Amino acid sequence: METNRNELTEYVYSLYDRGLMSDYSNNHFLIKAMKGELTYLYFQNNPYLGNRIITNISGMDFSSTFICNFSIKMHYLSSIFVNKDKFEDFIKNQLAAGKENYSEDQFFQAISEINVLQYLSLYSGKLKEAFYEPELCDDTNPEARFHFENGMIFDIEVKTANFGEVLEDKIKRSQDKDFLIKLNFVMSEESKQSLKEYCDEKNIELFFPRVLKLKDFIESAGKKFEEITDEKHFNLLFINWTYIDYMEWRLNEPTFLLTNPISALLYNENVQEIIGIDKKSLDKISAIVLYRDNIDTLLSQDFRYHFAHQTFKLILNENLKSINNFSLLCKALGMNPYDAESEAISYAECVKCGASTDNQNANNALEFALKLWQKNS
């Protein structure tokens, strides 16, 4: 257990000595790092990073790199919160990720939260006061509230999308199909049924967008946020969409579900009605930051690597532009907002499954889907 104990890692080992990690499983990622058991192959085969190719950096000690960065970040965060008892409860319970029923997915979700909070508190302005899990709305609370010296307030919620089985595994079982198509816009149940019948006839595997995942995240965050009444008060929803099916799809699915011209979840009332989203929750969210983790962000726990890899999107809720000072927000976050007009719209993703080399059926299916949407919108 003492393998990586040194001056830089002392804080995390002190948590272990104090018993805050007594319920952690021996299979816990953090325990393995403390024992020096994390290897290149562990990261290469980790489902959290999907099918990303990880370069085997010669001589890198993955365990010591992770535990050193983690200890420094946690020591810093423990020092900024007024209610330190709540942050220690996070370490003892949420970071334990299921304890004896350890789930690595839960641990990476907790790491994702740490990365976001550390970045916002350090680089968004001079921090005046910080509260972990502040009690704002009845019995629910966001991850944190940050008060800055310039009067700016951030209320922050972090969500991680875990889709379970990835589409790549489904494709392996769909070799009798010619193509797989996944839509990036919302359709009515009637239209979805018509499109499914069309695709079955054309030997195409069809998947619909995971819009309900976004709906759940927005509604959950909205219930924890206060209504915005000041231009310097921002409710921020960070969504980690790391469990992507193909690298080429990047953040297309959530980005276009939220912003595409024909069925933007943020603005299209017909779509909001189709999925039954709580409009009050939606109107409480100033901005949504979408991002995907990679080996750099995982090992360093430094959100700034998303800038280097361009693995994030800042989507402003334009419904609040008359209330929030978005110029101030973008400057504080160090991010330029996503501009839907500057990027080509990807209404669907297509993957070839079988031996067919003719893309026409797939193109026709997408055209048919768009016609169905226009007919029933």
Quote the pLDDT of residue 58. Answer: 46
Q: Is residue 118 within 8 Å of 77, Cβ to Cβ?
A: yes
CB-hemisphere CA count at 13 Å for 286?
Answer: 27
In a domain, 356, yes or no: yes
Residue by residue, pLDDT tens for the chain (377 residues) are 677 888 999 999 999 999 999 999 999 999 999 998 887 666 666 655 554 444 555 456 888 889 999 999 999 999 999 999 999 999 999 999 999 999 888 898 899 999 999 999 999 999 999 999 998 887 789 999 999 999 999 999 999 887 555 555 665 656 778 888 888 889 889 999 999 999 999 888 888 888 999 999 999 999 999 999 999 999 999 999 876 555 556 788 899 999 988 889 999 999 999 999 999 999 999 999 999 887 788 888 899 999 988 889 999 999 999 999 999 999 999 999 998 777 767 788 777 776 666 678 888 888 888 888 877 65
Quote the pLDDT of residue 286. Answer: 98
- Domain span at residue 192 reads 167-209+344-376
Considering the domain architecture, whether residues 78 and 1 belong to the same structural domain is answered as yes
Q: What is the distance between the alpha carbons of residues 257 and 213, in angstroms, rounded to a whole number?
A: 11
pTM for this one?
0.92
Considering the domain architecture, whether residues 205 and 348 belong to the same structural domain is answered as yes
Considering the domain architecture, whether residues 96 and 10 belong to the same structural domain is answered as yes
Quote the pLDDT of residue 51. Answer: 44
Q: What backbone torsions phi and psi does residue 352 show, to the nearest 5 degrees?
A: -75, 130
Quote the pLDDT of residue 360. Answer: 84
Q: What is the distance between the alpha carbons of residues 238 and 203, in angstroms, rounded to a whole number?
A: 38
Q: What is the distance between the alpha carbons of residues 50 and 250, in angstroms, rounded to a whole number?
A: 12
Q: What is the DSSP string of 1-18?
A: --TT-STTTHHHHHHHHT
In a domain, 73, yes or no: yes
Which of 82, 102, 122 finishes a domain?
A: 102
In a domain, 304, yes or no: no
Considering the domain architecture, whether residues 16 and 92 belong to the same structural domain is answered as yes
Domains: count for the chain: 2
In a domain, 151, yes or no: no
In a domain, 153, yes or no: no
Q: What is the DSSP string of 120-164?
A: HHHHSS-EEEEEES---BTTB--SEEEEETTS-EEEEEEEE---S
In a domain, 191, yes or no: yes
Considering the domain architecture, whether residues 25 and 98 belong to the same structural domain is answered as yes
Considering the domain architecture, whether residues 98 and 177 belong to the same structural domain is answered as no
Q: Is residue 24 within 8 Å of 46, Cβ to Cβ?
A: no
Which of 72, 102, 132 finishes a domain?
A: 102
Residue with tokens 């816990």: 28
Considering the domain architecture, whether residues 11 and 93 belong to the same structural domain is answered as yes
Considering the domain architecture, whether residues 4 and 95 belong to the same structural domain is answered as yes
Which of 59, 80, 102 finishes a domain?
A: 102
Quote the pLDDT of residue 53. Answer: 46
